[in-house]
Structure 1
């Protein structure tokens, strides 16, 4: 890596511990107004300085994030289909490298759909994006998107992550699964996990802990943070696991402390507060 690439990469994966807490707020690019993300500005504001980086589209970046922020931007640059469209895997690159530079992006993010109808198109998108990013020293994060018909198991996710790395992705975002260590061991670049669907806070913290224990370099969480009734407390608890090696129970106790309920909820209880 040249200096610029190394510098941007270090803004995403923190060199102090090789980990990251990325906040995903890019859901609207195919879901539209998502519950508790209807007004991105209001959702992002209290969480912005608590995230190591922010993953979002250029439209939400321009409209909803203060330009005075120092939080690194992971710019979502793929899209072209919606939840009601023909096929979610039918994506293209929607944002130019020139635009990414104007927006001072620290990383570019794009989805690949291995095994889908449009697998070739999405993998070609990734290769093209890596080529463009290399010219200007901007790393690329590949998201191993999973369709309803695909199994989220170590064999499939390991295949998708390895292909993304082979095509030049610098970071991979995927899902945690049984035997996740095999996915990490088979991928030569850092792997972070998606939070996925909304879980109870205790369960989301357990997911975070399991992923870190199994070798993930961090998390890119969205709904499990900003759909919580206490999103600030939740992201702080996630940070405790990722950057301070808290157990899931220790992080949950910290969460309860922050919201003032530790003395009224029995330890280990999974409850949405």
Structure 2
């Protein structure tokens, strides 16, 4: 049966799965790092593949005609595995990745390449930190002396900074609520990843309004030569170019 594997976990992945539903077999694969993920329509598998070899085996057994990597922009290892596995089998691969954020007048962003760099630069920017880099990156800041408000969807499992508070919350957030949060905790610097999208952008608007610096971790670069699009609609168009009907490819 004609089928598309979506490496998901993002809002764009869910929107693509919804758009493809009913036109072909769609399987969305989630990493399983969020306790209660928002599930897309269609078939869902949760958990890793066991590296490149495991993904090759899965693609071969399920006979997918195309793979869309719509994982988080910072899921670099999954993207590398997808490139290697699809290249080995000759399966078309598309990376669906929303555009990164772009600063505007009034923003005070300091960009760094990695979380480790962020931890090194942070002391020069502020003392009370809103940290929104995801629960897996919290441990990088365990040795910091600043006070942290750590906002994540699920509780962090890493060692926390000695002066910290955990706030469990899932976006979308509003600008007014973000301003109120920053003021109530006396935040003087925001640390985040360049995830892009609108759901968590209001924290950047709030930082701009309050004149706060933002320490922004840049995205890892995508592998060279990979087809990329920025929206689910563009992904549908790409799938249609693979000799598909209704957005889905079929066996040639």
Normalising by the residue count of structure 1, what TM-score does the alignment of the two structures yield?
Answer: 0.27
**Structure having greater relative contact order (Cα 8 Å, sep ≥ 6):** 2
Between Structure 1 and Structure 2, the one with more strand by share is: 2
Bigger radius of gyration: 2
